[in-house]
Amino acid sequence: MSPSGSLLVAEGLRKTYGPTTALDGADFSIHPGEVVAVMGPSGSGKSTLLHCLAGIVTPDEGSIRYDGRETATMNDAQRSALRRSDFGFVFQFGQLVPELTCVENVALPLRLNGTSRKAAERTALSWMERLEVDGIGRKRPGEVSGGQGQRVAVARALVTGPRVLFADEPTGALDSLNGERVMELLTDAARSTNAAVVLVTHEARVAAYSDREIVVRDGRSRDMERAV
């Protein structure tokens, strides 16, 4: 694995929770615009790796360089500023604000950055069009289907133009048809903006949308050559 030209590189990550070793020397790298699937059995350390890469969890050992900057040693304020400015997140479920309409949900990150309501909702709607959910802008998350809700969540994650999109089992709560459509739209949208995507999944069908797969086992990662 050559890290040259990589946007995000991690080396030798270790993380323990009490007696449990979640990461045991994991490595990772991703280029701008690349979609990398992180696969592996339950409990192998996939989510912990994603959380370390995204600056949500601090590793006990190892280095993480994002765009030339070491993030593993940044303080909380620096890491949360980086998350807000450069990263987007999609999780399995539960991430939309139930009291807001779908378009307000998508516009929220822009509103928090100080964008006016009108401009934020205009940009939000254009992202919702790309994710084919512009017709449900005025509905609340409780009134839309699971697949529509995930597409709204993807639009919200991309609305600020992140350079890395972190997606942890983004289709885990969807049936396979809806899951595939979400993956198709998510990867198309990310590629069109040259955002890198770190995609945690245990489904080969979902990983098939990636450019490259790595497998995490017992807290260690290795590249998997796709047999095509």
Ligand X SMILES: Nc1ncnc2c1ncn2[C@@H]1O[C@H](COP(=O)(O)OP(=O)(O)OP(=O)(O)O)[C@@H](O)[C@H]1O
The residue assigned the tokens 């289709």 is 171
What SS3 state is found at 94?
coil
Residues that bind ligand X (CB under 6 A): 17, 20, 22, 40, 42-48, 202
Taking the complex as a whole, how short is the minimal distance between the CB of residue 128 and ligand X, in angstroms?
29
Query: Smallest distance from the beta carbon of 150 to ligand X, in angstroms?
Result: 17
CB-based contacts of 212: which residues, under 8 Å, 6+ apart? Answer: 34, 35, 36, 37, 223, 226
To ligand X, the closest distance from the beta carbon of 6 in angstroms equals 22
Classified as helix, coil or strand, 78 is helix
Nearer to ligand X, 84 or 202 (CB): 202
- At CB < 8 A and 24+ separation, what contacts does 181-186 make? 181/147, 182/147, 182/150, 182/151, 182/154, 183/209, 184/209, 185/130, 185/131, 185/132, 185/151, 185/154, 186/90, 186/154
As measured in angstroms, the least distance from the Cβ of 47 to ligand X is 3
* Closer to ligand X by Cβ: residue 121 or 168: 168
**Distance between alpha carbon 37 and the CA centroid of its chain, in Å?**
11
Closest CB to ligand X among residues 105, 221 = 221
CA 16 to chain centre: 23
Cβ 152 to ligand X shortest distance, Å: 23
Nearer to ligand X, 31 or 51 (CB): 51
Q: Which is nearer to ligand X, 45 or 141 (CB)?
A: 45
How do strand 164-168 and strand 87-90 relate by DSSP bridges?
parallel
